[in-house]
Amino acid sequence: MRNQRLWKGVAVCCAVLATAAVLASCKGEKKIVQYSQMYKETPAVIYIAPINDLSSRRALRELNDSAYNASLNTAVKHCYLTAASPLVNRGYYVMGPLASAQLSATESRTGKQLRNESIEDLYTGLGIDAVLFVDIVEWTNTHAAWTVEAEYYVRSARTGGELLFAHVKATKLLPTDHKGNPKPLKADLDFAERYGCDLETAQRCRLVEILNEYVLSDLPSGSRARVDEKERYVKSHPEYFNLRIHRDGSVEMLKSTEEGS
């Protein structure tokens, strides 16, 4: 009997340790390590490049196909427009949408060239310290869940080096009624009414807005923010992770199976 209790205790301890290991793996390095180049360069001005939308669209065979494609297009635009807010809140100067649109319209380089070739002229000529690139990789959805796979990359205009990389698969879940029909949250209904869009589009727009906030708020404080020295030693997000926006509106980060792939 005593041995049974001992082995039971060992099993419980192992389960606790395994759970702790899984939770720990959802966190990345300390910020001073993860963002070492960013702390070194201390960028102040960030330009948000046009969204690189790689997601597939439906062939126009039915009316619903057109509505689906329009919903994705709206969500991509909303992703771009809401990327600035978390950066500003972290203390960075961000070029406004009009100035950014003018810059992208006169930019002769492709998105691929901006990512891989020298962009020092943006720093020397326009005072831009870094460029944020966002890729929308793919959209999927079920009856009561919407998922987007996205990639974030911040590149230094001074050195061309990487300041941030994050690959995220984010899912927004809705509660359902006794018949299994999705029940939008009040925030979803308010969003749809405010912007005059359907509830499907509201789900996608709110998903990318929350995703922007979660990913970009992990950055170190910018020059306009009050710096807390303890921040450098806080765990950052890993480069690969999954995000779940639960039925009650809460947000949870989960380990990604793609990490290191």
What's the pLDDT score for residue 68?
Answer: 95
Residue 59: phi and psi, rounded to 5, are -65, 140
N- to C-terminal Cα separation, the chain? 47
Residue 54 has which token pair?
Answer: 């790689």
Q: Using one digit for the tens of pLDDT, what is the confidence trace for 185-237?
A: 999 999 999 999 999 999 999 999 999 999 999 999 998 888 778 999 999 99
What's the pLDDT score for residue 38?
Answer: 95
Structurally, at CATH architecture level, domain 36-221 sits in 3-Layer(aba) Sandwich (3.40)
pTM of the model: 0.86
Residues 204, 170: contact at Cβ < 8 Å? no
Element at 196 (helix H, strand E): none
What's the pLDDT score for residue 9?
Answer: 46
Residues 159, 131: contact at Cβ < 8 Å? no
Q: Using one digit for the tens of pLDDT, what is the confidence trace for 135-151?
A: 999 999 998 999 999 99
What's the pLDDT score for residue 20?
Answer: 36
Residue 98: burial class (beta carbons within 10 Å; 0-12, 13-18, 19+): exposed
Residue 10 has which token pair?
Answer: 């060992």
Which stretches of the chain drop beneath a pLDDT of 50?
Answer: 1-25, 260-261
What's the pLDDT score for residue 235?
Answer: 95
What's the pLDDT score for residue 23?
Answer: 37
Residues of the chain with CATH 3.40.50.10610: 36-221
What's the pLDDT score for residue 224?
Answer: 87
What's the pLDDT score for residue 96?
Answer: 87
What's the pLDDT score for residue 27?
Answer: 61
